[in-house]
Chains A and B, each alone.
Chain A
Amino acid sequence: MKNLLKETYLLDVGKISKSIERLWQEYQAVLDSKNPSWEAMNRARAILFFLGYFYPEKIALESLEKRVRFIRPKITIDDFFKALDGKDRKILGKYSKNKKFQKLSKFYLLVKGIKNRVENGSYLDEERFNRLYSKLKPREYF
């Protein structure tokens, strides 16, 4: 998670992608293991929270907000998201050769990809996680 933060500072999209996959595989390995420990299950919980919420909605969003300001000709963060999500041909065409726009687009689509990932029929394999987590949760846990 620390590496992912560093790679986000560097905006190394290739490494960000690899780190996200590494975390995802670690999360899946805990869920796939026959007898995961309570500690391992909480490691999985941390990854789920990080990939599903904290990284995309806090870290990646702040990074995008900060960097979109450097794109010329200027574009607001709202218009940047609208162009990509709404597949606005006019705006996408305007910035098709703009390196900063292209790099930030790649980063955003990567972040959106992990946020929307579905596994075993549920978002971020949450149903399986919730089932396993509640099985292991100690009675006195608070």
Chain B
Amino acid sequence: MGKTVQGRAVVIKKRKDYSKIKPGTILIAKEAHPDLVISARKIKGIAIEEDNKLCHAAIVAREFGIPILMGMEGIVKEFKTGEKIALDLERKTAYKIK
């Protein structure tokens, strides 16, 4: 197992889902809205379907030093808000944990 971060998933489907972010959140989204920056300090990790070095999620992750996995196709359908999950940053995978 490589370097991992663990936390509770918050799956972003609508903009109002950003209000569900709590300390220790692993943010899961197709793409991120700039509103992400408001809760950035509470986010422990990001897994996102979008894959671009200049997308909002990538910029915010670098600004706040948040570990990020990009290009995670289909991840929004894989997890539900509230599930405990881990991001393996070296293997570029995300999985549920008990």
Contacts and interface: CB of A to CB of B under 8 A. Distances in A.
Contact of B59 (A77, A85, A118): A85
Contact of A123 (B34, B52, B59, B62): B34
B53 A56 contact: no
A32 interface: no
A116 B39 CA distance: 16
Contacts of B23: none
Q: Which one of B34, B35, B54 has the highest number of Cβ atoms from chain A below 10 Å of its Cβ? A: B54
Given A60-B54, A61-B54, A123 B33 contact: yes
Interface in B25-65: 33-35, 52-56, 58-59, 62-63, 65
Contacts, number: 33
Given A81-B62, A85-B63, A86-B62, A116 B34 contact: yes
Interface residues of B, number: 13
A109 B54 CA distance: 11
Interface in A86-142: 86, 111-112, 115-116, 118, 123
User: Nearest 8 CB-CB pairs, A to B?
Assistant: A85-B62, A123-B34, A85-B63, A61-B54, A57-B52, A57-B54, A56-B54, A82-B62
6 contacts: A61-B52, A82-B62, A86-B62, A112-B54, A115-B56, A116-B56
Interface of B: 33-35, 52-56, 58-59, 62-63, 65
